[in-house]
Structure 1
Amino acid sequence: MSRIGKKAVVVPSGVTASVNGQTVKVKGPKGELSVVLVGEVAVALDGGEIKVTPRAETQRHRAMWGLSRTLVNNLVVGVTKGYEDKLEITGVGYRAAVQGKNLQLALGYSHDVLFPIPDGIQIATPKPTEIVVSGIDKQKVGQVSAEIREFRPPEPYKGKGVRYAGEFIFRKEGKKK
């Protein structure tokens, strides 16, 4: 039995949810999201709760059960609170700034890196060495954060690069004379 899948997703007040076949749509104060669930699970709206159940007791059905419940929960949390990722930039002269619809990154290359901000995502730079990526879609926020980090991942000798806030970078000692 899936411990996560057994729990029903509670739809809070101010949020409307609708289930049409395998499609779950959720509308809240921050926006509207939808997801199409796999055929291995059945989804139903009971009062103020969304319940996901497996159609059979095979390994795949049980695996999709927990995943599907989590995807539905991510929709509800996204339209009520939203998601946020913080990135830190470490290195001499490394900085970030938002210019219009682009994020400009100076990461030690001979040129500045321009990253176009996708629709549905907000990027803020409270400090030149800090980037805050926020939005209602958890997958999109994580993908954008990963793409920004990929421009200059943290290196193990000096720790220079872009890293998630609170991420531990294993440091190496370097050459000895």
Structure 2
Amino acid sequence: MFETKKYNGTISEQYQLVTKQLSALLTGETNVIANLANASALLSQFLPNINWVGFYLLEEGELVLGPFQGLPACVRIPIGKGVCGTAIAKETTIRVDDVHEFPGHIACDAASRSEIVIPLRSGDKIIGLLDIDSPITSRFTAEDQSHLEIFVKELEKHI
């Protein structure tokens, strides 16, 4: 069902390459939506065993669906609700091994089993988040988290 992506080297080397690709892709572009769309497309083709990757943007006190790759998703998420809303409320990355064990999980796709959510900032202000889901329990490791946070830091330079 899931194909192996075409990146070589260690996990660290692969993430370094995809982050360099992001930088090259976004250099010179100032449109936030275009940059988020390309970032989600890049991660979608890079990460194996995921079923959704995209962004939610903070708008008038709630998260609103932004550019993504995957099945249709929840359009609005209240702050403090589900994994995404909790990550915004706590202003930190949240990595969940089994979303069915996360209190208040919002199931946009019943196939999702694990999730990682990383806040997205402009300066010191949180403006949204990166959300990645997988149909595999415990898909995201501490190493994934570390490298995805670096990816988001690179993305923040272009928004």
Q: TM-score range by the shorter chain?
A: under 0.3
The normalised TM-score by structure 2 is 0.23
Query: Which has more radius of gyration?
Result: 1
Q: Which has the higher strand share?
A: 1
The normalised TM-score by structure 1 is 0.21
The structure whose RCO (Cα within 8 Å, separation 6+) is larger is 2
